[in-house]
With several copies, the nearest count.
Chain A
Amino acid sequence: MADPDWEDTRATGVAERLAAEALIVDVEGFEGPLDLLLTLSRTQKVDLRRISVLQLAEQYLVFVDRAKALRIELAADYLVMAAWLAYLKSRLLLPPEPGEDGPSAEDLAAHLAFQLERLQAMREAAARLMARDQKGRDFFARGLPEDVTRIRKVVWTASLLDLMQAYARIRTRDDFRPFVMDRHDVFTMEQALDRMRGLIGYAGDWTDLVSYLPEGWELDPRRRRSATAAHFAASLELAKRGQIELRQTETFAPIQIRRKPDA
């Protein structure tokens, strides 16, 4: 969209500059650079599809320069747009460099024109939308809506199976007695603690924990398991109290204990 007759537009440049100056006063009123560009484009008095992007870029740059001269703070996006338009302008004016990559200056200009046209179209669409008949202004809903009465009805159900299970549950409740464990094969931690507290003084150096197991508890696996657990727990308790030291050379190696020297 390089404009061939952009030279002509220079003649009218003064008028546009004046228009742009008038706009500067109102810079707060613009909703961003695209909005400003759209406003500037109106001075071209042509269909947006035939707009001279080069001329528009020029107008915008003039606008930004004037704003700077008047020490008007422009938001960063206005300056970004100015830089981009300056670049676009130079690309439009200079012949393309051979072997140059990327989009052509014409493509970029066409896209900018598209953006403006689209923004303009959306503005018009918004205006047409707001011009429609609106509810509560031009047409109305029933002023006295009759609410639907909601009647919630709960139906409770149970099956015969539920009933029988419930009865069975009540009648058999008495059958259950608290579970009492057979303590014959259980060695408690308290027992182990008592034993170890008495024995620990006699062991001089590091001794395997297993050697503390009481007689008659090392052979039967169930008894051995219970006694080992009890003694292990008791040894932890003693260690916590600072009465013994514990060690294990490696994983699964025998656990050894000894009385703490100063205890």
Chain B
Amino acid sequence: MSDDAERSLFAAPPIAEQERMVEAILFATAEPVTVAELEARMPHGCDPAEALVYLRRRYEGRGVNVVKVGDGWAFRTAPDLGYLMQKETVETRKLSRAAIETLAIIAYHQPCTRAEIEEIRGVAVSRGTIDQLLEMEWIRFGRRRMTPGRPVTFVVTEPFLDHFGLESARDLPGLKELRAAGLLDNRPMPGGMGAPRDEEEAEDVTGQSELFED
């Protein structure tokens, strides 16, 4: 009620007009734009979330689509037309096998410490691998673990989601199956040889659910 009253007071533009605005803003930038940013840039009283629903529908099946990336929204060309874009193709630096695996481990286990990556791969993670992924802005530092040594954790970023066309880390391929199979558990080595610390484990579970649920 009060919301309606406010709206009429400020005479927000009609929704079709708001849709045009969102269209213009998303078209103009290469980076995903959040609803909050849209709201800040649009006239008072606008509802960009609603406008986005219409806009998304309008571009379904078109040559460009409205996609969600993390908290943001962006236009991206339809993947089936990638072959037309040879000229635009960006040669990405070839990632080493170690880098790809490290990235996948961080994505699926985030937040994830270096020690955990090493335990899963069974081999030391070289400084350069982490540096490379940080530099590409595909991973970033997460919160420190509240365990002895307060190790840093790594999480994946919005540019990572953007690059792989993921709405969120929850949409990682096969995530549900892996979790159901217990393969994302931080299972300690029985008897403690090289085993992860118990507290860390407990926190891990909450840390992960925080990121993936909701």
Q: Which residues of A contact B (CB under 8 A)?
A: 31-35, 37, 77, 84, 102-104, 107-108, 111, 114-115, 117-119, 121-126, 128-130, 132-177, 179, 181-182
Shortest 10 CB-CB contacts between residues of A and residues of B: A34-B122, A32-B123, A103-B190, A126-B104, A136-B90, A140-B28, A167-B104, A138-B82, A103-B191, A133-B79
Shortest Cβ distance from residue B28 to the other chain A in the assembled complex, whole angstroms = 4
Interface residues in B, total, Cβ within 8 A? 69
Say whether B143 faces chain A, with CB atoms less than 8 Å apart.
no
Binary per-residue interface labels of chain B (184-214) against chain A in the complex, 1 for a CB within 8 Å, 0 otherwise: 1111011101101100100010000000000
CB-contact partner of B123 in A31, A118, A150, A175, under 8 A = A31
Contact (Cβ within 8 A) B28 A145: yes
Say whether B11 faces chain A, with CB atoms less than 8 Å apart.
no
Q: Which residues of B contact A (CB under 8 A)?
A: 24, 27-31, 41, 74-79, 82, 85-95, 97-101, 103-105, 107-108, 119-124, 132, 136, 162-166, 172-175, 178-179, 181, 183-187, 189-191, 193-194, 196-197, 200, 204
Report the bound CA distance from A162 to B95 in whole Å.
9
Specify which chain B residues have a CB less than 8 angstroms from the CB of A171 in the assembled complex.
175, 204
Shortest Cβ distance from residue A209 to the other chain B in the assembled complex, whole angstroms = 30
Report the bound CA distance from A103 to B187 in whole Å.
14
Contact (Cβ within 8 A) B105 A158: no
Report the bound CA distance from A98 to B121 in whole Å.
35
Contact (Cβ within 8 A) A149 B86: yes
Report the bound CA distance from A46 to B121 in whole Å.
21
CB-contact partner of B77 in A139, A158, A163, under 8 A = A139
A172 — nearest CB in chain B belongs to which residue?
A: B184
Contact (Cβ within 8 A) B30 A125: no
Contact (Cβ within 8 A) B172 A164: yes
Contact (Cβ within 8 A) B191 A108: yes
CB-contact partner of B181 in A121, A136, A159, under 8 A = A121
26 contacts between A and B (CB under 8 A): A31-B121, A31-B123, A33-B122, A35-B123, A123-B104, A125-B172, A125-B173, A128-B174, A129-B104, A129-B164, A135-B163, A140-B82, A143-B27, A144-B31, A150-B88, A152-B89, A155-B92, A160-B166, A162-B100, A163-B100, A163-B164, A163-B172, A164-B181, A167-B105, A170-B101, A170-B121
Specify which chain A residues have a CB less than 8 angstroms from the CB of B132 in the assembled complex.
156
Specify which chain B residues have a CB less than 8 angstroms from the CB of A177 in the assembled complex.
193-194
CB-contact partner of A129 in B124, B173, B197, under 8 A = B173
Known pairs A35-B121, A122-B105; list 16 more (Cβ under 8 Å).
Answer: A31-B98, A102-B190, A102-B191, A121-B181, A122-B104, A123-B104, A124-B174, A141-B30, A142-B29, A146-B28, A159-B164, A163-B100, A163-B107, A166-B101, A168-B175, A170-B120
Report the bound CA distance from A136 to B76 in whole Å.
10
Shortest Cβ distance from residue A56 to the other chain B in the assembled complex, whole angstroms = 14
Specify which chain A residues have a CB less than 8 angstroms from the CB of B92 in the assembled complex.
134, 136-137, 154-157
Given contacts A126-B101, A156-B132, A176-B194, contact A115 B122 (CB under 8 A): yes
Given contacts A122-B101, A129-B104, A164-B104, contact A139 B76 (CB under 8 A): yes
Report the bound CA distance from A148 to B98 in whole Å.
35
Report the bound CA distance from A166 to B120 in whole Å.
12
Specify which chain A residues have a CB less than 8 angstroms from the CB of B196 in the assembled complex.
175
Contact (Cβ within 8 A) B184 A140: no
Report the bound CA distance from A34 to B98 in whole Å.
13
Report the bound CA distance from A170 to B164 in whole Å.
20
Report the bound CA distance from A105 to B79 in whole Å.
51
Shortest Cβ distance from residue B148 to the other chain A in the assembled complex, whole angstroms = 23
Report the bound CA distance from A182 to B200 in whole Å.
26
Report the bound CA distance from A145 to B24 in whole Å.
11
Contact (Cβ within 8 A) A125 B121: no
Specify which chain A residues have a CB less than 8 angstroms from the CB of B172 in the assembled complex.
125, 129, 163-164, 167
Contact (Cβ within 8 A) B104 A151: no
